[in-house]
Amino acid sequence: MVFFASCQQPLQEAKTDPVLLMADLHCEAVTLRKARFELADEIRFSEDSLIQLQPTDTIRLLLEQKLERLTPYKDSIVTRSLELSHVIKATLDSLIEIEFKEPEQRSMFDAALSTELAKRGC
């Protein structure tokens, strides 16, 4: 089973620094995307096995139970991904409107964010 977590930064520091805040959100989004892809592969493999392999009743039951266990996990990842996308959009809109009105400010922010993401590896 796949697990996801957000990048770790001191919470207070991330709240005051828009670069750290956006880096945290970006890293969490990347982690969620990887978790979604891994989960989709696992679901697809189980469904394909049910269809193509004509498994015995025992194996069929195990695969069906596995799919049932994965559904709530899939739902939670989808929900968290949608929530996170709204948070990222609202945060960026707010930052652009309040802190980075000028193109050169936005360019400096983009460069600082790219540097932070490269440092974190996400």
Band of pLDDT at residue 54, cut at 50, 70 and 90 = confident
Over residues 71-98, the pLDDT tens digits come to: 999 999 999 999 999 999 999 999 999 9
Under 8 Å between Cβ of 49 and 60: no
- The model's pLDDT over 18-48, given as tens digits with 9 standing for 90+, comes to 999 999 999 999 999 999 999 999 999 999 9
Q: Output the 3-class SS for the chain.
A: CCCCCCCCCCHHHHHHCHHHHHHHHHHHHHHHHHHHHHHHHHHHHHHHHHHHCCCCHHHHHHHHHHHHHHHHHHHHHHHHHHHHHHHHHHHHHHHHHHCCCCHHHHHHHHHHHHHHHHHHCC
Give residues with Cβ within 8 angstroms of 1, minimum separation 6. Answer: 73
Q: What is the pTM of this model?
A: 0.73
- Confidence (pLDDT) at 15: 59
